[in-house]
Structure 1
Amino acid sequence: MRGPTTVQPTLISAVWSAAGAGWLRAAILAVVGSLLLTASAKILVPFWPVPMTMQTFAVLVIGMAYGPRLGVATVALYLAQGALGLPVFAGTPEKGIGLAYMVGPTGGYLVGYLLAATACGYLAERGWDRGLFTTAAALVIGNVILFLPGVLWLGVLFGWSKPILAWGLTPFLLGEATKMALAAVVIPLAWKAVRSRRH
């Protein structure tokens, strides 16, 4: 019987075993994941009260599917691409590129991507990604961890006398809830598909 702290296989390891693949598998998955993060940053979905990208969805799903180590490595590769000046972030190159963009208003959220991928990957390795409710709980935890440094960085940059929550949190809550609901359905369904393929 597996205890609550037992490390369990991640979704990606169930699809593509790490046995014998080593660094090449990790490199391929990290590159593919970084490309997905770039694409998700560029997808602008009409929504209320503000349009949304699919990036937080991609960060949380990659974290859960890849696990904490590969998930963080993937997000770190994506951030490194941005730091080198590639237009991988939302609003780039129009809003700037490279390190200048990364220390701007969205910088805290970029740090949050790393933290959220770690948290979601850790919880996935503890089996939180197998059912609807535990997946949803893991996604909520990941989203809180993602937004916390983002909002704190806005406060540092602009001062807490400004409407920081109205700038960096409340307009996005409905969109985040929608994306989390989608991810909470998709991830357990993916596990179900993997299990059915094995039988």
Structure 2
Amino acid sequence: MNTLNQPSTAFTRSLANSNGAVKVATVVFGSLLIAAATQIEVPFFPVPMTMQTFAVLLVGLLFGARLGAAAVLVYLGEAALGLPVLSGAANMATLFVKPATIGYLVGFVGAAFVAGLIVERTAGKLWGVVAAALAGEVVLMALGVAFLAYLIGAEKAVTFGFLPFVLGDALKIVLAVTVARGVGHLSLPGAR
């Protein structure tokens, strides 16, 4: 069997073989997981640190590229509809006042997609899951810091939008890989 285009784990295989209703429910669940993880805050400077990055990477690692990115897009759609799903129970209207996080939010879509794509292509092997999570984080930070640099300059963007989060994001990557590897062995009931 060619593993290049095959889902990587028992979970993603069972999800890929599920009917449309299960996929939709999974995407909605993923968006709610991201929203819940976003509300877990640790006071930090310059902004609170949340578990949002963990959840974004996790849905990419578990759901694959398309469904992982779809879950993030649904999450952003919930924020656009005015639901309080962003950090601090904010919604998209907040971004008009404080636009500094726009690049990171866009980066979430790319992070979930890239993480899912790489984990699909590496057949769920540990090194592939680690590489997928790291690549997703790189995409997220590249887009987030680039937009922040546009707003406040490159040096300040790196100083305030990247360096303070390196350790926390490294820990979230380890956690996402660990959870994805554990859940990856499970299968959805009733999958075709």
Closer, same or farther in 2 for the Cα pair 1:11/1:167, shift >3 Å?
Answer: farther
Matched, 1:163 2:163: no
- Counterpart CA distance in 2 for 1:142 and 1:175 is 15
Distance 1:32 1:128 in 2: 24
CA–CA distance in 2 between the matches of 1:17 and 1:63?
A: 13
Displacement of 1:69: 1.1
Change (3 A) 1:50 1:99: closer
Instruction: Identify the residue that residue 110 of structure 2 maps to in structure 1.
Output: 115
- Distance change >3 Å, CA 173–CA 128, structure 1 → 2: farther
Match of 2:190 in 1: none
State the shift of 1:68 in Å: 1.1
Aligned residue identity for 2:139: I
Query: RMSD of aligned C-alpha atoms?
Result: 2.5
With normalisation by structure 2, the TM-score equals 0.84
Q: TM-score w.r.t. structure 1 length?
A: 0.82
In the aligned structure 2, how far is the partner of 1:110 from the partner of 1:60? Answer: 13
Alignment correspondent of 1:62: 59
Which residue is 2:128 aligned to?
A: 134
What amino acid sits opposite 2:182 in the alignment?
L
Identity percentage of aligned residues = 39
Q: RCO higher in 1 or 2 (8 Å CA, sep ≥ 6)? A: 2
AA partner of residue 120 (structure 2): E
Would the alpha carbon gap of residues 111 and 17 (structure 1) be closer, same or farther in structure 2, given more than 3 Å must change? closer
The answer to whether the 8 A contact 1:108-1:154 is kept is yes
Q: C-alpha separation between the residues in 1 aligned to 2:165 and 2:84?
A: 23
**SS of structure 1 residue aligned to 2:87:** coil
Tell me the distance in 2 between the aligned counterparts of 1:48 and 1:38. Answer: 21
Q: Distance in 2 between matches of 1:75 and 1:181?
A: 20
Q: Which moved more, 1:183-192 or 1:9-18?
A: 9-18
Q: Tell me the distance in 2 between the aligned counterparts of 1:156 and 1:49.
A: 17
Q: Which residue of 2 aligns with 1:38?
A: 35
Identify which of 149, 172, 176 aligns with 1:183.
176
Aligned length: 186
Superposed counterparts of 1:17-32, under 5 Å: 18-19=17-18, 21-22=19-20, 24-32=21-29
**Structure 1 residues 163 and 11, CA, compared in 2 at 3 Å: closer, same or farther?**
farther
